[in-house]
Amino acid sequence: MTQSNLNIIRWNEASASFLRPGNPPETLGDEPLNLPENTCLALPADSVRTLPLSISPDEVKHLRRALPFMLEESLLEDVAELHFANAPLDTDRHAVAVVRRQVMSQWIAELPEPFKELPWVSEALCLPWSPGYCTLVFEAEHVLVRWGEASGTRIERSLLAPLLESLPMDHVSVVAYCADEAMVRASLPETLHGALQIRQGGLSEALLLANAEAPVPDLRQGDFAPRLPFARWWRIWQRVGIALGVAVVLKTDRKSTRLNSSHLVISYAVFCLKK
């Protein structure tokens, strides 16, 4: 692994695993983990719907408020129950993610604090992609699929063929990461067999070719945007603040005691930082 690779923490059903590209998944426990800077939290793609959306320059300013109404007809659920996130892809296209608000609240309640500070993204958009390609990662019962810059999902293997048949797959190469080529071919429409490229491995191996930057959009927007940790900052620095206040008071003491008092204050400050 190099610093240019994207690393992910995969969160599913209240369990977490850390994936370094090209390495086996590492199960995460309660112990602290020194994460690389280019790490994101990859959330189940069957709970996060992603899509590209063409946006005129006049609409961008009010896009966050307008998204629920722009997508309402294409969604089965009440938009009031849904959370929307977006990020620009270029001058007139945005990547959009839609998640149930209840699911977002559940993740916030279950996730360990360090994970909440990472970018939250769909696991499907962590797969490598370029125009003219569709990437598949076969797992035990599901398949991760990415067929566009902002399009991907997690689907049951039995539903993969109908999904691919519904997509514009003409002149598209299909790259499948798997351990069983026969199973892959049996899962794909016959029309795509000639465009199939098999690669050994799973999501970890796919990350070796993925974009080094975290995909967009980050789900932590609007009501679910990260809050500044003022309470944590205060717990860390309040003792130091007290020590500095004591130092100011001691400056009014006689010159003969100033050296010893300053030494005492510095010692107290160091003690506070170590606690």
Q: In sequence order, which residues have a C-beta less than 8 Å from that of residue 198 and are 6 or more positions away?
A: 176, 178, 181, 184
| Cβ–Cβ < 8 Å for 216, 95 | yes
User: Average of pLDDT values for 119-129?
Assistant: 98
Alpha-carbon distance of 152 to 183, in angstroms, equals 21
Q: What is the pLDDT of residues 47-89, one digit of tens each?
A: 999 999 999 888 888 999 999 999 999 999 999 999 999 999 9
Alpha-carbon distance of 88 to 174, in angstroms, equals 26
DSSP code of residue 125: G
Is residue 230 very low, low, confident or very high in pLDDT (cuts 50, 70, 90)? very low
Supply 25's token pair.
Answer: 């998944």
H or E, element range at 265: helix 255-274
Q: What is the pLDDT of residues 235-259, one digit of tens each?
A: 445 565 565 655 555 565 555 555 4
Alpha-carbon distance of 208 to 36, in angstroms, equals 15
Alpha-carbon distance of 52 to 87, in angstroms, equals 10
pTM: 0.82
Q: Is 127 helix (H, G, I), strand (E, B) or coil?
A: coil
